[in-house]
Structure formats: structure tokens, C-alpha cells
Amino acid sequence: MSAIAPAKPLPYLQVLDVTGNVVNPALMPKLTDDALRDLMYRMVFTRVWDQRAVKLTRQGRLGFYAPVAGQEASMVGSEAATTRDDFLLPSYRDVPQAVWHGWPLYQAFLYSRGHQHGGQFPDGVNVLIPQIIIGAQVVQATGVGLAFKLKGEKRVAFTYIGDGGTSQGDFYEGINFAGAFRTPTVFVVQNNQFAISVPVSLQTAAETLAKKAAAAGIPGVQVDGMDVLAVYGAMKQAVERAREGGGPSLIETLTFRYGPHTMSGDDPTRYRSKELEEEWQQKDPLVRFRHYLSQRNLWSQKDEEAVIEEAKTAVNEALKKADEYQSMTLPGLIDRMFETLPDDLLAQRAELAD
């Protein structure tokens, strides 16, 4: 009986090293100076917004919130490689991608508070409400991709899941169906090392999460998730491949969340060492990309300060609008459940009116 041949190693993609110097020129995506500046703008804006959202949650002014600091390159770089016609199916941490894809920020705040209007996306915003059920978005993204394929539309569905989410059955079912039917879907696994509190080493025996793509018969790559250019390049290739009928892809971005899993009582110091956190701070995506742009005279301290002030203003305005939005009521909730209310809800509605 012959031995099983070892699997071929998957590509690991990196454009910039931790100091912001180009180490793989061949992988450099073709981006204009304005596009490069926009990536930095979005990452700085997202970092400022995240810092404010964390404080607002602690003050009781937001509801559920999952911090994103450290994952900006993974989030911003991947979304920027899509078009507004492509359809985003986010998980609960992927609010930045949804906002950059067109979801108004004030509605994202309302969503965090559990307000119904938060999920009423404006016409033309191709985003589904962030999924709380771990892995369900993977199955949904496959379905949306299949719909695009059956309609003959050159559009792509893309979705995100964390390292812990790849242990869910929905993850395997989704990528398997996508592979079998060659749907135009891109799956981004944001490997931030610990899921909620379980390290990847205990989560799976797979050498990398990208290798899980092999079971579905689809391409898989691992990317330096702290390198916005590497993420953008990998996502751009996968999206265009899907758009032209090449089928789905899986991208694993190696990243790190600096804060807790959510603001609902998680304490990362209980399962992460200070040394590990300091190690990843040295890989900060904003510091790395700032160095690269500064070397090319495309970014300055003045530019960064301007974005910081703009982000603070935008967050304050969005929060003010969310605060002023009409509060939910039980009758209003019932009224919005169906176009024509069934008898049992009509009875409940009548009881509330008494």
C-alpha cells in the first residue's frame, strides 16, 4: 500500500514587511496614488471609529459591539477590491466592510442597539444585515453567488468568518456547495488567532485554515492580514476570477484583534500573553502602511490628523442621528413583520392598543 503523498504547501502572500518595505514587488497590486491614499484613509478612519465605539459601549450608549482594531488591513483591503454591485454577507465583526460598502454609519449604530431600522438597508446597498449565527453567512453567500450564476450576472458574493467559525458545520457545507456548483463566491477567513478564547492550535489540526479549501475543491491562499496591499491583491484576484466564471476561492488572512472578542465581558488577558500582544503590535497594519506611503510622499502627519478629525466628526454626527431616530415600539415591531398581518399578530396588536 503506497503512502499518501504530502499536500503541496499553499502560497503565503505578503507585499510589505513589518517595517513597510516592499519584499515582493511581483505581488504589488496595480493601484493609483489616490487609491493607495484611500486605503490609508479608510484604515485610519476605521481605527478612530472603533476606538470611539468601544468607549460608547462602555458608556452604555451602544449595545452589542465587536472591536476591530488590528484587523483594519484585512477588512479594508478586502472590501476595497470589490465593486458596489458585489454582495456582502458580513458576520457581526464585519461592520466596517458593510459601512464602506454603503451602509450608513448611523444605521450601524442603530443595529448595535438592536433597533429595527439598523437593518433596513437603503436601495442599492448590497449588504445583508450582519450575521450573529456563526457560519450561517457562509451558506447564505453561496446561495447569493448561485443566484448570480443562474441569472448570468457578473457579480460576486463575498463573506467573512473568523478562525473559530471554520469549525462550524455551516462553514464546510457552504464551501462544499460553492465548490460543487462553482458559484462566484469569495470566502475570507480572518484568522485573529483566538476565536473567542481558544487558540487556533486547539481549534483544528489543519496546518493552515486556507488548506480547508482543498476539501471543497477550491483554491485557498494564506495572506499576511496585517498587510493591506497583500490582502487587496489576493482579494482582487479571487473576485475577478469568480466574476469571470472561475468559481469560488478561500482567503485566510493572518491578523490579530487588539481588543476583546466583544464588549460583552470578554477579558483577553486571561488567554493571551502580554508578550504575544506586544509582538503583534509591532505588525500594526496602520504603522506598516503609513511607513510605505510616507516613503513615497503620499502620506503625512497632517493628512493623518485631518482624517482623525473627519472621523471624529462623522462618528459624532452619526451618533446624534441615531439618538434622534424614532424609538421602537411593540406595535411598530408587529406592524413591520408582514405586509399583511396574520390573525394571531392582529390579536396581539389589538391587545397592545387597549
Q: What are the catalytic residues?
A: 257, 261, 271
**Residues 87, 125 contacting (CB under 8 angstroms):** no
CA 218 – CA 55 distance, rounded (Å): 41
Return the bridge partners of 158, or none: 88, 186
CA 104 – CA 317 distance, rounded (Å): 11
Angle at 336 between CA 334 and CA 340, to 5 degrees: 85
Q: Which residue has the cell 516613503?
A: 295
Angle at 163 between CA 161 and CA 169, to 5 degrees: 70
Return the bridge partners of 185, or none: 157
CA 230 – CA 32 distance, rounded (Å): 15
**Residues 189, 166 contacting (CB under 8 angstroms):** yes
Closest of 212, 210, 135 to residue 171, by C-alpha: 135
**Residues 318, 312 contacting (CB under 8 angstroms):** no
CA 48 – CA 121 distance, rounded (Å): 24
